[in-house]
């Protein structure tokens, strides 16, 4: 399919473990976003890339969260020393351009459970 | 960011129209109104967006009040597949990123 692909679909981590979540955006999409969605809540913005440049990381909750997109396509969200409060669904979205009314395409997310 | 207010939940019957309201009394003149929906165990999905005029597409219609302080998403003939959480989102003028700010949304239940 040509949609946004995220892996793994589910991840169980022990508290203190590092995790890496992968996002494959739609080919050619310039903009890439990461969101965090807690159970029963709407998605919350984490960070935004335009090609390989991380232009906004204001939503990252702590310095344990790190995102990269080195070649302007695939992106990885890394969480170091995971805590129980990091348990959530992590959503990736991409869009073709960076105009205000450009629609976002979301992946199905990675559900992270920290025990 | 301007905020939106939506009912927590709504219920409708299959094959009937559904009108999902959204209040945004602090909307600015250049904010776009976006609607996304999230089916169970999936990421959000774009539905429709508009600025001032009513909009139609294959999924739904968007009716925007003349003063733009409210809008209504209209599903003309609901199916079971339309059961989802619907989010009404305001998108401020372009500042380098389209950072959508999701609220709690409206959980729509469709009865067979």
Nearest to B97 among A91, A98, A106 (CB): A98
Among all residues of chain B, which has the CA nearest to that of A90? Answer: B43
- A43 and B42 within 8 Å at the Cβ level: the answer is no
State how far residue A17 is from chain B, nearest Cα, in angstroms. 25
Reported in sequence order, the residue ranges of A1-115 that DSSP labels E, i.e. its strands, are 5-7, 10-13, 19-24, 31-37, 44-50, 53-56, 65-68, 75-79, 88-95, 105-106, 110-114
In tens, the pLDDT along B65-106 reads 999 999 999 999 999 999 999 999 998 766 545 678 898 999
Q: Do A100 and B92 touch (CB under 8 A)?
A: yes
- A74 near A32, Cβ under 8 Å? no
Q: Write out the DSSP string of B27-50.
A: --TT-EEEEEEE-TTS--EEEEEE
CB pair distance less than 8 Å for B102 and A33: no
pLDDT for B97 equals 55
Which tens digit of pLDDT belongs to each residue from A13-70?
Answer: 999 999 999 999 999 999 999 999 999 999 999 999 999 999 999 999 999 999 999 9
Contact A48, A31 (CB under 8 A): yes
């Amino acid at each position: 399919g040509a949609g946004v692909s995220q892996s793994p679909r589910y991840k169980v981590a022990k508290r203190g473990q590092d995790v890496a979540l992968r996002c494959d955006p739609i080919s050619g999409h310039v903009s890439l976003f990461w969101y965090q969605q807690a159970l029963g809540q709407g998605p919350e913005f984490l960070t935004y890339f335009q090609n390989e440049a991380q232009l906004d990381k204001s939503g990252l909750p702590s310095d344990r969260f790190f995102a990269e997109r080195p070649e302007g396509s695939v992106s990885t969200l890394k969480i170091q020393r995971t805590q129980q409060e990091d348990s959530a669904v992590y959503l990736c979205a991409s869009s073709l351009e960076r105009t205000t009314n450009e629609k976002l395409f979301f992946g199905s997310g990675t559900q992270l459970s920290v025990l | 960011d301007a905020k939106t207010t939506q009912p927590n939940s709504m219920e409708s019957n299959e094959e009937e129209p559904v009108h999902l309201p959204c209040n945004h009394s602090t909307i600015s003149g250049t904010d776009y109104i976006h609607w996304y929906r999230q089916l169970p165990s999936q990421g959000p999905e774009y539905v429709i967006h508009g600025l001032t005029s009513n909009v139609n597409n294959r999924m739904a219609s968007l009716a925007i009040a003349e003063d733009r302080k409210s809008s209504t998403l209209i599903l003309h003939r609901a199916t079971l597949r339309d059961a989802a959480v619907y989010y009404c989102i305001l998108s401020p003028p372009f500042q380098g990123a389209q950072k959508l700010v999701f609220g709690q949304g409206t959980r729509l239940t469709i009865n067979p």
